Chains A and B, each alone.
Chain A
């Protein structure tokens, strides 16, 4: 009886430990899947993400002075620099920085802020997915 209780407790810890781990750490592909379900909900005619579209979106300006690459540089595997404060920005491409796109809340926080700075509006799920698809093509 005592042993059974032990086994049950161990099982409980293992299962919940795994659940909380996956809740905390996501892979960039999982983050992309979340964005994709947003995109599908947003647009019934959604046809997938395009890394080529993501790359041009990343590198061009959108009416404002800044582009994504203004701070993240034209090479997302390189260390960037904050346009105003000069503070170093760690590489954005997951291949160069394993911490990137592993936390949906953090991803959403930065998309909201940076899209407002670059485009004066929030980005659509299509735009976010295109950019992430592009970043996932970058090799370190």
Chain B
């Protein structure tokens, strides 16, 4: 009985490890299949563009799952160290837009860390890290880049939602 249980647990553990290993492969395949629209975000909302874009690049809503946007939008008064609070009506409209255009559940499964907390920074998602693993530390540290959140430093068309790899220019 005990050994049966142990066997069962071991099978689960192996399956979990396998899933973990296979996930980036599955994601990469999905990536290539959707290349044409993956890098181009066309979803837009005037309030989202004006309010979020007042301080930073309009980060595409599909790069975080709905749960992340929900948590992020509920704490705008402490938004990564800044007060970015909005009136209730505007916040509601922007939240609706973000959640409607959020990343898919499949994508979301990549976003959540093991403690079950949603990732709030796109740059902390495994997807972002995989996509940028060939960028050297020297490039990240460049004063022209300053922060991985500064998309436009290398993706000049980021404001238009264009993150196509072919248009990347890392500043010297």
Count of interface residues, chain B, beta-carbon cutoff 8 Å: 16
**Interface bits B79-90 vs A (CB < 8 Å: 1, else 0):** 011111111000
Judge whether A6 is part of the interface by a CB distance below 8 angstroms.
no
Instruction: List residues 80-137 of chain A with CB under 8 A from any CB of chain B.
Output: 82, 84-87, 105, 109, 112-114, 116-117
User: How many angstroms from the CA of A117 to the CA of B77 in the assembled complex?
Assistant: 10
| Cα distance, A114 to B147, chains bound together (Å) | 22
Q: Which of B55, B83, B86 contacts A82 (CB 8 A)?
A: B55
Let me know if B47 is at the binding interface, CB within 8 A. no
Q: Is B92 an interface residue (CB 8 A)?
A: no
CA distance A41 to B55 in the complex (A): 33
Q: Is A117 within 8 A of B56, CB to CB?
A: no
How far does the alpha carbon of A86 sit from the alpha carbon of B57 in the complex, in Å? 10
B150 at the interface (CB under 8 A from A): yes
Kindly state whether residue B149 has any CB partner on chain A within 8 Å. Answer: yes
User: Do A84 and B82 touch across chains, with their CB atoms under 8 A apart?
Assistant: yes
20 further A-B contacts with Cβ under 8 Å, apart from A112-B83, A116-B83, are A82-B56, A84-B82, A84-B147, A85-B55, A85-B56, A85-B147, A85-B149, A85-B150, A86-B146, A86-B150, A87-B55, A105-B87, A109-B85, A109-B86, A112-B85, A113-B82, A113-B83, A113-B84, A113-B85, A114-B83
Q: Give chain A's interface residues, CB within 8 Å of chain B.
A: 82, 84-87, 105, 109, 112-114, 116-117
- Provide a sorted-by-A list of 5 A–B residue pairs whose CB atoms are within 8 angstroms: A84-B147, A86-B146, A109-B87, A113-B84, A114-B83
